[in-house]
Amino acid sequence: PRPSVPPAPVAAAPTTPSPRAAGPDAYDLTEVDPLSGSKGFGLILVGGASMKGPKVVAVLSEVMGCAESIAQGLLKKRVIHVLNDVTEAEAKAAARKFAAVGVVAKVSEPKYFKR
């Protein structure tokens, strides 16, 4: 007779959340794109009516690591280069912070990725 061996535990299949249900943070980009860990990406804000208010000043000062008075002065400019030479994930994370306060931020790609 064959000895009784308990069955091996079966690992549950990983569930991938729906992007609509989980929001923009649902996926880890570093697993999808091998180049996402490379630096050279940036974040740009283009001025407009949406770039006003204390929430925008607070997010800009947090992302840039500067005082709120400096961030207030920067908001008077038409184009603001917020981040330079960061990873794609860092740039997109900062863009999501600006989107949360109603400001559209553009993630710029490194020159060597452009065709």
pLDDT one-digit tens code per residue, 40-78: 899 999 877 778 889 999 999 999 999 999 999 999 888
Q: What is the pLDDT of residue 18?
A: 46
Whether 108 and 63 have beta carbons less than 8 Å apart is answered as no
- Averaged confidence pLDDT in the chain: 77
**Whole-number pLDDT of residue 31:** 46
Rounded CA-CA distance 39/2 in Å is 58
Contact 76/45 with Cβ under 8 angstroms?
no
Q: Tell me how far apart the terminal alpha carbons of the chain are, to the nearest angstrom.
A: 68
Which pLDDT value is given to residue 49? 74
Question: pTM for this structure?
Answer: 0.62
Residue 10 has pLDDT above 80, yes or no: no
Host H or E run for residue 45:
strand 41-46
Give the residue from 107, 112, 114 showing the smallest Cα distance to 29.
107
